[in-house]
Amino acid sequence: MRHLRYFMAVADLLNFHRAAERLDITQPGLSRQIQQLEYHLGTQLLLRNRREVRLTPAGAYLQEQLIPQLNRLENIFGQARRIGQGQAGEIRIGFLGSAMQEVIPRLLLELDSRYPDIRTSLEELSNQAQVRALLQERLDLGFVRLSDLPPDLEGCPVIRETFSLVVPEDHPFRGKSLGSIREFAGESFILFTPEYSPDYYRTVLSICEDAGFHPQVSHKSVHAHTIFKLVAAGLGVAIVPTSLQHGFQLKVRFLELSGIRQRAVLTAVWNRAHHSNALQHCIEHLRGSSPEP
């Protein structure tokens, strides 16, 4: 690479003295580098005498071909430096659907503003699917609702929020919030499946048990939209993180459960041993915006 740069300087200026000054080396040192390149190629590239320096046909061809190739190499080297410094690269992100309400859009806007050369790919996955993908290094970052993480994963909370009871729009209860859901003990409940989010399922059961009853679960789904459609149809009520009230235009009402101890926590997670500098910038941003315990 050095020999090629030296040759291009001489080919551009057709003067060894000025080329040596541009390259900040001695003229004899530059002459030796050109001679080594000619020896390696097995052909003369420059014709020199006391009055002038001229390119041979082989030298002219090499100059013409090297100009775009060296420019491309400079771009490649520059991109490699940016990747090494975390200014560029790719972050593969897995997420639960609820993270798309606020967290993911806000994160993508921040990355695009501060690190425009960092690309992101998104894949909606269950909690356990994200954990497997992170451990297998198929994902760089995940957003899960899990109270316990495997030892190889690390995380920080990005949202800590209340739960809400979701009821049909025409439900006779007319309040805006609930201290307890005890008066809904006779309702059928529509929940996310325990396979999709075991922690969520256990938490909902504990909310009901704290109120003195065990919920009668009539339907389960992995999709919030499906749950809300079933609630709107009068087939039961649901308990979900309050942030899910945004983004759905359905005939349901959210009654915030402000008086209970349980909170819905969304956690950003990553593999302790395998993360890039680009991901490190992302982690620092998430830690900086992490909610108070």
Delineate the domains of the chain, giving CATH numbers in brackets. 2-84 (1.10.10.10), 89-157+267-288 (3.40.190.10), 163-262 (3.40.190.10)
pLDDT at residue 78 in the model:
65
Cα 176 from chain centre:
36
The yes-or-no verdict on residue 260 having pLDDT over 70 is yes
CB atoms within 10 A of CB 175: 9
- Integer Cα distance of 286 and 293 in angstroms: 15
pLDDT band at 141 (very low <50, low <70, confident <90, very high): very high
- Encode burial over 247-280: b for 16+ CB neighbours within 10 A, e otherwise: ebeeebbbbbbeebeebbbbbbbbbeeebbbbbe
Task: Please tell me which residue, 3 or 211, carries the higher pLDDT value.
Answer: 211
Radius of gyration of the chain (CA): 32
pLDDT at residue 292 in the model:
62
Q: What is the DSSP string of 92-145?
A: EEEE-GGGGGTHHHHHHHHHHHH-TEEEEEEEE--HHHHHHHHHTTS-SEEEE-
pLDDT at residue 179 in the model:
67
pLDDT at residue 139 in the model:
95
pLDDT at residue 123 in the model:
94
pTM listed for this prediction: 0.69
pLDDT at residue 207 in the model:
95
pLDDT band at 177 (very low <50, low <70, confident <90, very high): low
**Range from 9-23, 98-112, 150-164 carrying the lowest mean pLDDT:** 9-23
The predicted model gives 158-175 an average pLDDT of 89
pLDDT at residue 24 in the model:
86
**Range from 4-8, 132-136, 210-214, 232-236 carrying the lowest mean pLDDT:** 4-8
| Residue owning tokens 């050109």 | 34
pLDDT at residue 86 in the model:
59
pLDDT at residue 184 in the model:
92
CB 37 within 8 A of CB 3: yes
The yes-or-no verdict on residue 231 having pLDDT over 90 is yes
pLDDT at residue 83 in the model:
66
The yes-or-no verdict on residue 274 having pLDDT over 90 is no
Q: What is the pLDDT of residues 82-135, one digit of tens each?
A: 667 656 678 999 999 888 888 899 999 988 888 888 889 999 998 999 999 999
**Range from 16-25, 67-76, 114-123, 133-142 carrying the lowest mean pLDDT:** 67-76
Q: What is the pLDDT of residues 189-227, one digit of tens each?
A: 999 988 888 889 999 999 999 999 999 999 999 888 899
pLDDT band at 48 (very low <50, low <70, confident <90, very high): confident
Average pLDDT, the chain: 87
Report how far apart, in Å, the C-alpha atoms of 139 and of each of 117, 121, 219, 225 are. Answer: 19, 9, 31, 26
